Structure 1
Amino acid sequence: MFVITLRFADKTKAPQFMDGHNAWIRQGFEDGVFLLVGSLQPNAGGAIIAHGASQQEIEARVQADPFVAEGVVSAEILAIAPGRTDDRLAFLKA
């Protein structure tokens, strides 16, 4: 499981690449890799919970985000090995 943070580096460029970024998010959900996407508050960027891919696959996916590629955000990928979960999230331990 991965937690990915996307912190704004140059927010002024965001509108120019928003359509591509939204398409990238949509693809992450369609591929079954993204479980949750949301905003970092207050207006600091975004965060993603991802699952079902290797570290290398996640790194490549993140680099393909137009926001990352164009310097709108800086990305950090945290790998988490779940040890204990609520029963509703037991699939994350697989």
Structure 2
Amino acid sequence: MFVVLLKFSDNKSQAAEYMGAHNQWIKQGFDDGVFILVGSLQPGLGGSVIAHNTSLEDLQTRVNSDPFVAENVVTADILEIAPKKTDERLSFLLGQ
């Protein structure tokens, strides 16, 4: 499982220009069964993604294809988490 932190860069002002394409990138992540949660970093620092069912290499490729990343609107940090114990509602994460 992975946490992706998308932190605004100095090009934050260009976010509106790429928002439609970024939202399509998010939709594709959900459609592909990789993204399980997307949200904003508060207060207005950028965004975050929780991903699973993917490898680090494949996720890095996916993240690099995000228009916000490609256009340097955000910088991306990927953190890998090896779940050891979960609430039963998240037990599907244990096998990843």
Count of aligned pairs between the two proteins: 94
Q: Which amino acid aligns with 1:59?
A: Q
Task: Give the Cα separation in 2 of the matches to 1:31 and 1:23.
Answer: 12
Q: Which amino acid aligns with 1:36?
A: L
1:77 aligned onto 2:84: no
Task: Give the Cα separation in 2 of the matches to 1:85 and 1:58.
Answer: 22
- SS at structure 2 position matched to 1:37: strand
Q: Which amino acid aligns with 1:21?
A: H
Per the TM alignment, residue 43 of structure 1 is displaced from its structure 2 partner at its CA by 0.4
Q: 1:16 corresponds to which residue?
A: 17
The RMSD of aligned alpha carbons is 0.4
Task: Give the Cα separation in 2 of the matches to 1:57 and 1:93.
Answer: 19
Structure 2 spans left out of the alignment, 5+ residues: none
Superposition TM-score, scaled by structure 1 size: 0.99
1:1-94 superposed matches below 5 A: 1-9=1-9, 10-94=11-95
- SS at structure 1 position matched to 2:75: strand
Per the TM alignment, residue 28 of structure 1 is displaced from its structure 2 partner at its CA by 0.2
Dislocated runs of 4+, deviation >3 Å? none
Task: Give the Cα separation in 2 of the matches to 1:76 and 1:6.
Answer: 7
Structure 1 spans left out of the alignment, 5+ residues: none
Per the TM alignment, residue 56 of structure 1 is displaced from its structure 2 partner at its CA by 0.4
Superposition TM-score, scaled by structure 2 size: 0.97
Q: Percent identity?
A: 57
Q: Which amino acid aligns with 1:37?
A: V
Task: Give the Cα separation in 2 of the matches to 1:13 and 1:80.
Answer: 31
